[in-house]
């Protein structure tokens, strides 16, 4: 199966704020423009899967409506990391020693008392185990940059800790509304290294 991973469009949020699972909205015009630019690049037939957060679900539903796909299936395993008390706080207002503690343990530290990258990796592993069992050639997956990084790092038999280490070791370069593709099978998942 090919997973066409799409990062949600830019949400309506003040620049410089920390957000993960905060349920932010996207401007309707932004969703319309992103949908129009994505549709010619997406496969048919395909299933549509998405994070239930509205910045993803809104785009997924727009793709379904405009592209004639079956209704989008929401999966909480695809949500971004939860930053606990850091959610919606300016990054420069977060105590520097807390930021340093996270930088010193990217895999296990729980920013703001929320999730660690390892916690999130467990969710992504649950999604991967499920998606390996469904019988489709293509899936359009609308989710978040953190989720996409973990899906790119996934390989058959990997532990959540190793998955978190792999994803955290690479810088984030995924743009809003960008498509990345990975291939996944019941036995192996590998990055296709193709950006559309």
Number of domains in the chain: 1
3-state secondary structure (DSSP) of residue 46: coil
Top-confidence residue, 169 or 148: 148
In sign, the C-alpha dihedral spanning 66, 126, 143, 131 is: negative
Are residues 126 and 116 in contact, defined by beta-carbon separation less than 8 angstroms?
no
Helices marked H in the chain = 28-38, 54-67, 96-104, 117-131, 145-153, 160-168
Lowest pLDDT segment from 24-33, 84-93, 144-153, 165-174: 165-174
- Rounded mean pLDDT of 40-46? 97
For the entire predicted model, the pTM comes to: 0.92
Top-confidence residue, 122 or 194: 122
pLDDT at residue 196 above 90? Answer: no
pLDDT at residue 195 above 80? Answer: no
Whichever domain contains 109, its CATH number is: 3.40.50.1240
Residue 135's pLDDT is 85
Q: What is the pLDDT of residues 114-150, one digit of tens each?
A: 999 999 999 999 999 999 888 899 999 999 999 999 9
pLDDT at residue 156 above 90? Answer: no
Among residues 55, 64, 12, the alpha carbon closest in space to that of 35 is found at 64
Cβ neighbour number for residue 107 with a 10 Å cutoff: 19
Provide the residue range defining the domain that includes 67.
Answer: 2-195
CA 70 – CA 115 distance, rounded (Å): 32
Residue 190's pLDDT is 42
> What's the order of all strands across the beta sheet hosting 2-7?
73-74, 47-50, 138-143, 2-7, 179-184, 189-195
């Amino acid at each position: 199966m090919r997973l066409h991973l799409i990062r949600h469009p830019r949400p309506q949020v003040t620049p410089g704020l920390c957000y993960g699972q905060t349920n932010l909205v996207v401007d309707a015009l932004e969703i319309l423009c992103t949908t129009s630019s994505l549709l010619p690049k997406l496969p048919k037939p395909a299933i549509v899967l998405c994070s239930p957060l509205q910045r993803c679900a809104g785009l997924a539903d727009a793709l379904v409506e405009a592209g004639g796909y079956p209704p989008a299936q929401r999966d909480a395993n695809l949500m971004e990391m939860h930053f606990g008390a850091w959610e919606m706080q300016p990054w420069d207002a977060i105590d520097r020693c807390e930021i340093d503690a996270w930088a010193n343990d990217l895999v296990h530290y729980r920013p703001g008392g929320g999730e660690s990258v390892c916690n999130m990796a467990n969710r992504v592993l649950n999604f991967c185990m499920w998606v390996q069992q469904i019988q489709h050639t293509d899936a359009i997956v609308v989710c978040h940059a953190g989720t996409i990084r973990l899906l790119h790092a996934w390989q058959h038999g990997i532990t959540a800790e190793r998955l978190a280490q792999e994803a955290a070791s690479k810088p984030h370069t995924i743009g809003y509304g960008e498509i990345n593709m990975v291939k996944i099978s019941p036995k192996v998942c590998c990055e296709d290294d193709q950006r559309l």
